[in-house]
Amino acid sequence: MSNILRGSRVKRSSKRANDFISSIGFDSPITKHVVSINMAHMLALVRSKEVTPEVASACLAFLDGLPPDLQLDPSTEDVHHMIEQQAIRAIGMETAGYMNFGKSRNDQVSTAIRMQARSRLLDLAEALTKVQVSLAGQIRKRKTTIMPGYTHLQHAQPVTLAHHLQSHFDAIQRDIGRVTDAYARVNKSPMGAAALAGTSVRVDREYVASLLGFDGLVENAMDAVSSRDFALESTSVAAIAMVDLSRMAEELILWSSTEFGFVELGDEYSATSSIMPQKKNPVVAETVRAKSGTVLGALTGMFAISKSLPNSYNLDLQEVTPHLWKALDDTIESATLMAEMLASARFDEGRLAGSLSSDMSTATELANHLVERYGVPFRQAHAIVGELVRSSVEKGRTLEQNASRNLGEVSKKITGKLLKIDKDDLQSVLDALKTLKLIGSAGGSNPLLVSRLLLRDSKSVEQNKSWIARSRASLDLADERLKKLVRTKDNEVRT
C-alpha cells in the first residue's frame, strides 16, 4: 500500500528502514483500543463543533464497520497509520481527512497501551486470585499435617503444611495489592495531549477520558506522551509476582523429588522422559521457575530503553511496549497454571511427618521449656540443649533418650544447678504437633492460628474477586456507552 500519510516533508523511503521502524508486528494487542480512541476523539470533535456532523457520521460509521479481528497490514508503519490510511481510502479525504485533527499518534499510542495494560492487569489479578483459591483449598485440608520447617534448607522447627502454604497465600495477596495500586495509576487518559504540547483544537479531554473508561487524566501533555513509568510499574508488579510464583515452583520441584517425596503433581502438569520410562518430570513448575527470569529480563530491557530519554516522545518508547505484553502474558499464564497445578497436588502426610522423626527440630521448644519451668536463662538453656543434641548425634540416640538420661549432668556442667525433667513433660515438649499447639504468637504455626487466618484469607479472595468484577464492569459500561453514541444517528444527542 503506498503511503498517503507520509506527507511532503520526506521524499524517498527505504523498505528495509520502514520495516525496521515499524511497530505493526506487535500492534495487535492495541488494535481494538486504537479504534475506540478514534471513535471517542471524533465524538469530542463533533461535540465541540470542530467537525461537521457529516464528517463525524462518515468517520464513525467507518470505524464501527471495521471487523473485530482487523488484520494488520505489514507494509504500514503502525496501526495508527494503517487505520487512518484505510479510512481515507474507504470514505475519502473530505471526511477521513479530519480523523487526526487535534490528536497525534503520541497521545493515541500511550492511551491505547494504558487501555490494554489495565485490562491485562485485571487478568493478572484474576489469575493470582485463582492461585490463592487453590492454596486456600489445600490449607483447609492440611491444618494438622506436620512437616519440617526450613531455614537454610535445613530442618529448623516443625510447622504445619497449612502454615507453610499460607505464607505463599499472603505473598500473593500483596502481589494483588500491587496490581490494584498500579491499576489506579495506569487508568488515566493521555488523550488530548496531542503530540506533546496540547492542541488549539477544542477537545474536551475529560469527555474523551470518560468515553474510554478512564478514571481521570495524565494532565501534563508532555508527561502524557513521554512517560512509560506505568509500563515499568506494571511489569515490576508482574516480575515480583513471578518471583513469588517461582519460589512456589521451586518447592514443588524439590518436594516431588525422590529424596523429599512430599508431593505428587497431577499428570497433566508433568512429562516423562524420552528414554527413561520411569520418569515423571515437573515440567510446568520448571517452566514457571524459568519464566520468572524471562519476565525479569523484559523488565530490565524496558528500564534500559527508558532511562535517560529526553522529553518528550522518542521512537525508543515503541520498543518498550512488546516487553510489557510479553511480561504480562507470561505472568498471567504462569499464575493460571500454578493455580491448576496446586489444586492437582497430592501431599504425602506420612512422608511429611516422617521426615521429622529424629531430626531434633523440637529442640527450641525444649530450650523454651527449661526457661519457663526451671528458670534457666535462655542462653544457658540453648547451650544445654545444644550439648544434648551434639551428644545424641554422637551416640546415635534420640534427643528424648539422651535428654532423659543426661539433662541433669549437662545442666550441672553449664549452670551449676542439677535439673530434673519430668518424663511426660519431656515427651510432650518434644512432640511436634503438641509443641505447635503451644505457639501463641500471631501468625505462628499453631493450627488454631492458621485457621483464624484462613477466615481472613477467604475475605481477601472475595474482596479481590469483587474488585476485579467492579473494574471490569466499569470498563464494559464505558465501552457500551461509547458504541451506543457512535451508533446514534442524530449527532445532537451525542453528548
Active site residues: 152, 273
- Residue 284 CB, nearest approach to ligand ARG (Å): 33
Under a CB-based contact definition with an 8 Å cutoff, are residues 46 and 494 in contact? yes
Q: What is the dihedral of CA 74, 227, 198, 482, to 10 degrees?
A: 60
Which residue, 109 or 381, is less far from ligand ARG as judged by CB? Answer: 109
- Residue 7 CB, nearest approach to ligand ARG (Å): 12
Which residue, 27 or 175, is less far from ligand ARG as judged by CB? Answer: 27
Q: Is residue 109 within the footprint of ligand ARG (CB under 6 A)?
A: yes
DSSP annotation of 443 reads: T
Q: How far apart are CA 28 and CA 79, in angstroms?
A: 8
Which residue, 34 or 337, is less far from ligand ARG as judged by CB? Answer: 34
Nearest to 327 by CA among 358, 294, 351: 294
Q: How far apart are CA 234 and CA 179, in angstroms?
A: 7
Q: Which of residues 15-54 bind ligand ARG (CB under 6 A)?
A: 23
Q: What is the DSSP string of 393-425?
A: HHHT--HHHHHHHHHHHHHHHHHSS-----HHH
Is the alpha carbon torsion for 74, 79, 85, 88 positive or negative? positive
| Residue 337 in grid coordinates | 497454571
Nearest to 88 by CA among 3, 10, 28, 22: 3
Which residue, 72 or 453, is less far from ligand ARG as judged by CB? Answer: 72
Q: Is residue 166 within the footprint of ligand ARG (CB under 6 A)?
A: no
Which residue, 142 or 228, is less far from ligand ARG as judged by CB? Answer: 228
Q: How far apart are CA 245 and CA 326, in angstroms?
A: 17
Q: Which stretch binds ligand ARG (CB under 6 A): 104-112, 352-360, 384-392, 405-413?
A: 104-112
- Residue 350 CB, nearest approach to ligand ARG (Å): 57
One symbol per residue from 64 to 93: x for binding ligand ARG (CB under 6 A), - otherwise; what is it? --------------x---------------
Q: Which of residues 285-344 bind ligand ARG (CB under 6 A)?
A: 313, 315, 317-318, 321
Helical spans, DSSP H, in 22-104: 31-47, 53-64, 79-91, 93-96
Phi-psi region of 2 (alpha: psi -120 to 50; beta: other; left: phi over 0): beta
Which residue, 81 or 168, is less far from ligand ARG as judged by CB? Answer: 81
Q: Is residue 169 within the footprint of ligand ARG (CB under 6 A)?
A: no
Under a CB-based contact definition with an 8 Å cutoff, are residues 225 and 198 in contact? no
- Residue 115 CB, nearest approach to ligand ARG (Å): 14
- Residue 78 CB, nearest approach to ligand ARG (Å): 4
Which residue, 321 or 402, is less far from ligand ARG as judged by CB? Answer: 321
Under a CB-based contact definition with an 8 Å cutoff, are residues 309 and 226 in contact? yes
- Residue 298 CB, nearest approach to ligand ARG (Å): 16
Tally of CA atoms within 13 A in the half-sphere of 469 that contains its CB: 6
Tell me, what amino acid is at 268? E
- Kindly tell me which residue out of 36, 106, 270, 464 binds ligand ARG, with binding defined by CB under 6 A: 106
Q: Which stretch binds ligand ARG (CB under 6 A): 103-111, 200-208, 259-267, 292-300?
A: 103-111
Q: Which stretch binds ligand ARG (CB under 6 A): 105-113, 299-307, 403-411, 443-451?
A: 105-113
- Residue 299 CB, nearest approach to ligand ARG (Å): 19
* Cα angle for residues 159, 125, 191 (degrees, 5° grid): 150
Considering CB under 6 A, how many residues would be counted as binding ligand ARG?
A: 10
C-alpha of 38 from chain center: 31
Give residues in contact with ligand ARG (CB under 6 A): 23, 78, 105-106, 109, 313, 315, 317-318, 321
